[in-house]
Amino acid sequence: MSLQAIALVGLGGAAGSIARYLLAGWTMAAAGPQKFPLGTFAVNIAGCLVAGLLAGLAERHPGWLSPDLRLLLFVGLLGGFTTFSAFGLETAHLLRRGDGLLAAGYAGGSVVLGIAAVWLGLRLAGPP
């Protein structure tokens, strides 16, 4: 890992985090009070759309995204915006490769084990 790669990821991550904050805040303000976490939902769906669009364009136009630009956009920007986009993109790649069972295990395991890990962390932290 070079210092340049770390800087690209950091810059993209900062921009992605700010974009997440702004989009989630705008979504929640526009929707008004509700029980559904619409801000996070909107960010996750938008991140998946952008990840799919960029990955599709990169497949159709080889060389369009340099390795540095990929780091900046996929790892940095989208990683700071939402890691759900990486999850969606990786699952889609497994499906496109014909690994449906592996994709289902990855998706199901990520959701179930992720929620279980949050629950465990809350339990380990002690009562509120």
Mean pLDDT by 10 residues, the chain (128 residues): 96 97 93 87 93 92 93 95 92 96 96 93 88
Residue 82 is labelled as binding a ligand: yes
Q: Which pLDDT does position 127 carry in this prediction?
A: 85
Q: Which pLDDT does position 96 carry in this prediction?
A: 96
- What letter does residue 64 receive in the DSSP assignment? S
50-53: which pairs have CB atoms within 8 A and are 24 or more residues apart? 50/78, 50/81, 50/85, 51/78, 51/85, 51/86, 51/88, 51/89, 52/88, 52/89, 52/92
Spell out the domain ranges in the chain: 3-82
Q: Which pLDDT does position 68 carry in this prediction?
A: 96
Residue 100 is labelled as binding a ligand: no
Euclidean distance between CA atoms 121 and 100, whole angstroms:
31
